[in-house]
Amino acid sequence: MAYSAGDTITASEYNTFITGDTSPFGINHVQGTGATVYGLGQAALPEVEGGADNNTTVTAASWNALLTGLDNLANHTNISVTARSQVAAGDTIAIKSAIATDLASLAAAVAGGSTGATAISTSSALQTVTSGSEGWDSSATQEVSMTFANANNMRFFFNAGGSIRITVGTTQAAVSNKDQSYIDLGSAFGNIDINSLTTTRSGSGETLTTNGLANGFQDLTTSDTVLIKLTSDNSGYTGNHIVISAKTGGGNGNSGNATSLTIKMVATDGANDTQFTSGNTDSVAVGAKDTPKMVTTLFANDPTTAQGLNPVYIRSATAAVSNSVS
């Protein structure tokens, strides 16, 4: 319903602003438990009792709770909403026509993963997985995971703008073009951040062979989804590549049942060269063609309480799932 200055807003209409569960959603669906892409785990606001009776008075305290909730959502998502002052008993509610519009804008921001949120803090390294040896012949595989206490907490994390980050690198400086190919691939990935609806890459360069960055947490399933594959531009080692994929545990990302996310890094040596010359019975490397020790590091970009949300939800555990070479 559209409102203009001076119109009366009934108690039942006010309650729609609070608990409406169809578009335009009430504030509780956006900031409370919600479902899938909606919900931030904030305390639910109460309806006006007897709201079915349009003569029921909506108190100043009820209005102010709604206005505060709108402001908190706007502050966290960095969405501009109509400027309003708190009200007192007996005040005329002058302009409320924009409440439905503001709620729709805030709902869209949360459904989009609160990408404008700046109250985000990057953790220190949560897991660092390093290959047990260099000189692997075929591939190096590493997996890390992040788990949440329950499925709602995982949704709230992503809906509030949280993301899961990995970086890929090596343990050593380049001693050969082969080493350099993997160092360059790691730099080209930069930070890989899995957000609610998309995945982002902060690096650039190398050959983007597979681009699955349009996939985010909500798109993931319990089977691996390739997010990105980069192939080396290094002369002589254009067969070398790294693939990053991810999957959820407990259910698909958009099911509302997922409680964990596992990220896999697979580095492949496609150059098909060897580190030893024919007949070198001492197995002493004549050319420095070892593959390097690969390193996968897990971080989190966590929502904070700095701009309106309280509480916020983060992981309950992380793990190094696998680490192998072949």
Question: What is the per-residue pLDDT for 278?
Answer: 56
| CA end-to-end distance (rounded Å), the chain | 64
Are 33 and 41 in contact, with CB atoms under 8 Å apart? yes
Of 95-99, 121-125, 196-200, 219-223, minimum mean pLDDT range: 95-99
- Grouping H, G, I as helix, E, B as strand and the rest as coil, residue 133 is coil
Tokens of 6: 């001076």
pLDDT above 70 (res 185)? yes
Percent of the chain clearing pLDDT 70 (strictly above):
88
Question: What is the per-residue pLDDT for 52?
Answer: 56
User: How distant is the alpha carbon of residue 105 from its chain centre?
Assistant: 20
Block residue for tokens 């001492």: 282
Could you tell me the pTM of the whole model? 0.92
Are 187 and 214 in contact, with CB atoms under 8 Å apart? no
- Grouping H, G, I as helix, E, B as strand and the rest as coil, residue 256 is coil
pLDDT above 70 (res 133)? yes
pLDDT tens-digit map of 20-64: 988 879 999 999 999 999 999 999 999 988 755 556 778 888 989
Question: What is the per-residue pLDDT for 4?
Answer: 53
Distance CA 279, CA 225 (A): 43
- How do beta strands 294-303 and 260-268 pair? unpaired
Tokens of 36: 């899938």
Tokens of 287: 């050319």
Of 76, 25, 137, 14, the closest CA to residue 304 belongs to 76
Are 228 and 189 in contact, with CB atoms under 8 Å apart? yes
